[in-house]
Amino acid sequence: MRIRTDTKGRDETLRLLMQATGEKTKTGALFVAAEHYIADKRNKEDVVDQLDPEIVETLSTRELPMEIVIKTQVGTQTD
């Protein structure tokens, strides 16, 4: 297998991947990363399958609705 590394950033990415995985070859590092990705994806799908569909729909949006309440006070309050 030949991996093109002449594309911007690929050589550095592969070097960092080899370092992170402890692999001595680009192919080895790619396979370790692929196996990790597949296992992670399966685990996430298992979690999603166990959740309430309404929660999954809410979490699947680009942005979650957020409300912020800010309270300020000047001086002292006596009760």
Residue 16 counted as domain residue? no
Residue 1 counted as domain residue? no
Residue 78 counted as domain residue? no
Residue 29: per-residue pLDDT? 96
CA distance 36 to 58: 27
Q: What's the Cα-to-Cα distance from 4 to each of 18, 20, 32, 37, rounded to whole Å? A: 15, 20, 18, 21
Residue 28: per-residue pLDDT? 94
Residue 55 counted as domain residue? yes
pLDDT tens, residue by residue, 19-67: 999 999 999 999 999 999 999 999 999 988 998 888 888 778 888 778 9
Residue tagged 């297998």 (tokens) = 1
Q: Predicted confidence band at 76 (pLDDT cuts at 50, 70, 90)? A: confident
Determine the structural domain holding residue 54 and report its residue range.
26-61
CA distance 57 to 64: 11
With b meaning 16 or more CB within 10 Å and e meaning fewer, what string describes 45-63? eeeeeeeeeeeeeeeeeee
Residue 40 counted as domain residue? yes
| pTM for the structure as a whole | 0.60
Residue 43 counted as domain residue? yes
Residue 31 counted as domain residue? yes
Domain tally for the chain?
Answer: 1
Residue 67 counted as domain residue? no
Q: Taking the CA atoms of the chain, what radius of gyration do you get in angstroms?
A: 24
